[in-house]
Amino acid sequence: MTGSSENTKTTPEALVSKFQVEKLLKQEFILKPDQNGRRIALLGTIDGQQGILTAERAAFATESLEVLQAFHAALSGVHNLGDNDIYRWYLASASNGGAGAAPPDLKLNLIWPCTAQHIKKYSDQTLRMVTETPAIYQNQVRPFMRAKRDEGRLNWVFNILEGRTEQEDVILRDAGHGPDDAFLMLPDLNWDRKTLNSLHLLALVHRRDIWSLRDLQKRHVPWLCYLRQRVLDATVSMYPDLEQDQLKLYVHYQPTYYHFHIHVVNVMLEAGATQATGKAFGLENLISQLESMADDDASMADVSLTYYLGEASELWTEIFAPLKRQS
């Protein structure tokens, strides 16, 4: 993924005000430890190129395009938290004016320029449960993964790992006992970076041979145990108000991007779609499953996995929907 030359000429804060709202892609109900809220995803343009702006707060009015445009026009105090390639994240307020600066009450994410795949991901769609057998994985899903990696979908990940972007956000770099052990940790772009009850971090490994949990083998158990403990130690060291048994570690399948990473969240964070059964696989359970396998070469590629997909996703339209029609 590459941005336009305009990306380097316009400050991240200015991009939000230049965003031209076109339509609502999705609004979703979310649960937080202390409140019920809503998140919206807006499709629009900046300098003629499409982008997606997501925002979250207690409630949103979404009954017309005029209301959505008024919401966008009311944004103030936009503060950039970071950016990497086409992804940017902010704190902002949605005040209606008045004396003094309003405290930030919104978390914004901007993807610009966005792709057709981004628009599909952030749009409302019906979900389907699918079962991916070892044969389907090897013959169809694995080639799909390879194609996505070859398209450059991991540029933003490599930017972080190679020290080009977001270095001020890295809270731990661990070289381990060799190159295969190295990883780093940083805040997830959806966390506001201050509310511990909604803490959400990412641990990105440096090694590039593990694309997803499907690549994990029994021989990786010592590495996974080491990685788990170092991630827990680093998190409670950075946030001393938390203890290790207040943290939940999981990986996604299917993941958003095909480079192995672990999500670290506060157990108080309500389990939304990204933590639901059929999306999140607990790291401890994965380790236990690998330990029970017969030999060191046995892997998660040898088992069937059941998970959900949106009907707009390429995995559904290109692989699982045709398989369903054939059955």
CB-CB contact of 198 with 214 (8 Å): no
Distance, CA of 186 to CA of 200 (rounded, Å): 9
Catalytic residues: 261
What residues have CB less than 8 Å from 108, skipping those under 6 apart? 16, 53, 54, 55, 75, 78, 89, 90, 91, 92
How far is the CA of 217 from the CAs of 96, 137, 183, 203, in angstroms? 55, 15, 19, 19
Written as six digits, the tokens of 86 are 């086409």
Distance, CA of 210 to CA of 224 (rounded, Å): 12
How far is the CA of 74 from the CAs of 26, 77, 276, in angstroms? 20, 10, 34
Neighbour tally for 141: CB within 10 Å? 20
Kindly state the DSSP code that residue 102 receives in the 8-state scheme: P
**Is the preceding omega at residue 322 within 30 degrees of 0, hence cis?**
no
- Identity of the amino acid at 296: D
User: 118 in helix, strand or coil?
Assistant: helix
